[in-house]
Amino acid sequence: MTAIRLPEPESAVVARRDVIVKDLVAMLGATSVIADEDGRRAYETDAFTAYRCMPLAVVLPDTTDGVAQVMAYCHRNGIKVIPRGAGTSLCGGALPAEDAIVIGVSRMNKVLEIDTPARFARVETGITNLAISAAAGPLGFFYAPDPSSQLACTLAGNIAMNSGGAHCLKYGVTTNNVLGVKMVMIDGTVVEVGGAHLDADGYDLLALIIGSEGQLGIVTEATVRILPMAEGARPMLIGFESTAKASICVSRIIASGIVPVAIEFMDRPAIEVCEAFAKAGYPLDVDALLIVEVEGSEEEIADRLGYIAGIAQELGPSSLIISADDAQSAKIWKGRKSAFGAIGRKADYLCMDGTIPLSQLTYVLEEISNICKRYGLGVANVFHAGDGNLHPLIMYDANNARQAERAEQAGADILKLCVAAGGCLTGEHGVGIEKRDLMRVQFSDVDLAQQMRIKSLFDPQWLLNPAKVFPLDGRPELTAGVADPAVAAE
């Protein structure tokens, strides 16, 4: 695919490649620098695989100091930097550029401290999301945000994208669970924001850093909240003959005063694929399936699931299955969490990530179906219904350039629909390159200029992940290293 324009690489930087690699090796040692073609190939894309680009070089520092040295070097020499966690971004957030150095934090993956009385863990950010919970688990605690890629994705990437997950209905997203960070600025300065206490002092810089898609700095250490594990958790499956009924059911559950830990939604195409993959016992004769999970003791769970079942019964569900045991619960979640992978076995797909107000759900799902029909493409829906975060998977054949282009167009139409319905372009995946050119659908020039001023404050030369998030046109003029977007906007 070629619809998304990427800036021309600076040939002067590319021409200095050998010198730059030598300098990097001198700084970090040969084992931390990847310069050969095969080695770099592993870093040429992320999970938004339609776009690829070989970076100038890849460095994998072991320490914050190593990151700081490389950043300072890049700053001095005007070289672009692409921060990278595990490369699981679905929006091209970690896509390299020919004239850029990838700084990966994957080797910095230690747990530094776990304090259960104060309920925090301090970790290096190259640690995977799941490894934090694995380390806290034996103490009875866990780290709450749980993106589907949690086995592979790093905390660094979660922080960059403000990742969510199925259980954020109750526990919030990354920004609600990070208390402090150690961040390397583009000039190599290391700043510490927040700490083990619940509210950082001064302006809320954490709010800006989390979700800034690696454009403000590289976070190398973080203090995250850990929570005691619930006594137990159990999902139930509620199948409906129509998506309309399913969405009414979601509204009624929430209005009833119960906030389940998760409410997930699947449509028929998704149910079929996931059931074939996970054999979770999903009903196959329904148009919409809800997975509703509650937590507590055995009795508390039984009580709440009974109450939710009562709400569902009023709507005449086609099926209503309460998970019988932990093994079945695991299968139910395995089906949901492997949905993207399972659909990927059938077809190539683009995964959208718009969020909408729940009241618009039925209308938006119908429209999504119409849009995809118009482009002659199939679509499956698997998403977090409790918070309105949709994930339509537009299926296409990547070897068919025309289909690929249509898929991108359908995706853009769907995201515009989400914004028009009162929602937003991305609920948890990020903007990256994928949605960069749609930002004006959601934001005015004033809104964007204000955000770009923040970018310029942290990174005056726009060296960090520069081709992402903001449309390429209308950006600040970079003169003498100082950028004022107002100049460009006028």
| Contacts to other proteins from residues 223-242, by CB under 8 A | 228-231
State which of residues 47, 425, 433, 483 lies at the interface with other proteins (CB under 8 A). 425
Residue 10 Cβ vs other proteins, minimum distance, rounded to whole Å: 26
Binding of residue 189 to other proteins (CB under 8 A):
yes
Which position among 111, 244, 254, 398 is part of the footprint of other proteins (CB under 8 A)? 254
Query: Cα 287 vs. chain centroid, distance in angstroms?
Result: 27
**CA–CA dist 229, 167 (Å, integer):** 13
The reply to whether 258 sits near other proteins by the rule CB under 8 A is yes
What distance in Å separates the CA atoms of residue 441 and residue 437, rounded to the nearest whole number? Answer: 9
Site for other proteins contains 202 (CB under 8 A): yes
Which listed range, 246-254, 270-278, 283-291, 344-352, lies at the site for other proteins (CB under 8 A)? Answer: 246-254
Q: Is 172 a binder of other proteins (CB under 8 A)?
A: yes
476 binds other proteins (CB under 8 A): no
Residues 110-139 that bind other proteins (CB under 8 A): 115-120
Q: How far is the CB of 49 from other proteins (least distance, A)?
A: 21
Q: Which of 40, 252, 334, 416 binds other proteins (CB under 8 A)?
A: 252
Strands (E), 68-142: 80-84, 100-104, 111-115, 120-124, 141-142
Token pair listed for 149: 């890629």
Measured torsion, CA atoms of residues 200, 205, 209, 212, in degrees rounded to the nearest 10: 140
**Min dist. Cβ of residue 409 to other proteins (A):** 20
Nearer to other proteins, 54 or 439 (CB): 439
Q: Residue 310, Cα to own-chain centre: how many angstroms?
A: 35
Q: CA nearest 161: which of 74, 89, 69?
A: 89
Q: Which C-beta is closer to other proteins: that of 108 or that of 193?
A: 193
Query: Which residues 432-461 are close enough to bind other proteins by CB under 8 A?
Result: 435, 439, 442-444, 446-448, 450-451, 453-455, 457-458
Cβ neighbourhood burial of 363 (10 Å; 0-12, 13-18, 19+): middle
DSSP one-letter code for 174: G
Q: How many CA atoms lie less than 13 Å away from 346 in the CB half-sphere? A: 20
Q: Which structure tokens are listed for 220?
A: 């190398």
Number of H helices, E strands in the chain: 18, 20
Q: Which of residues 42-101 bind other proteins (CB under 8 A)?
A: none
Tell me whether residue 9 or residue 188 sits nearer to other proteins (CB atom): 188
226 Cβ partners below 8 Å, 6+ apart? 114, 116, 119, 120, 121, 132, 136, 141, 142, 143
Q: Are 240 and 317 in contact (CB under 8 A)?
A: yes
Tokens of 19: 């010198």
Please report, as residue ranges, which positions from 9 to 28 form the binding site for other proteins (by CB under 8 A). Answer: none
Q: How far is the CB of 446 from other proteins (least distance, A)?
A: 5
The answer to whether 196 contacts other proteins (rule: CB under 8 A) is yes
Binding flags for other proteins, 91-110, as an x/- string (CB under 8 A): --------------------
Q: By C-beta, is 37 or 203 nearer to other proteins?
A: 203
Helix, strand, coil percent values for the chain (each to nearest 5): 40, 20, 40
Binding to other proteins by residue 167, rule CB under 8 A?
A: no
Q: Which is nearer to other proteins, 28 or 168 (CB)?
A: 168
Residues in 299-328 at the binding interface with other proteins, rule: CB under 8 A: 299-300, 303-304
Crossing angle of helices 268-278 and 339-346, rounded to 10°: 100
Residue 482 near other proteins by CB under 8 A:
no
Residues 281-300 binding other proteins (CB under 8 A) are 296-297, 299-300
Q: Which of 414, 395, 381 is nearest to 266 (CA)?
A: 381
Say if strands 33-34 and 57-59 run parallel, antiparallel, or are unpaired: antiparallel
Contact call for residue 414 and other proteins (CB under 8 A): no
Query: Taking CB under 8 A as the rule, does residue 469 contact other proteins?
Result: yes
The residue within the footprint of other proteins, chosen from 208, 276, 330, 347 (CB under 8 A), is 208
Nearest to 291, CA basis, from 313, 268, 259, 323: 323
Residue 176 binds to other proteins (criterion: CB under 8 A): yes
Residue 457 corresponds to which tokens in the numbers above? 């404050």
Q: How many residues contact other proteins, by CB under 8 A?
A: 91
Q: Does 203 bind other proteins (CB under 8 A)?
A: yes
483 binds other proteins (CB under 8 A): no
Q: Which of 96, 430, 466, 476 binds other proteins (CB under 8 A)?
A: 430
- Shortest approach of other proteins to residue 282 CB, angstroms? 24
Instruction: Identify which of residues 342 and 351 has a Cβ nearer to other proteins in the complex.
Output: 351
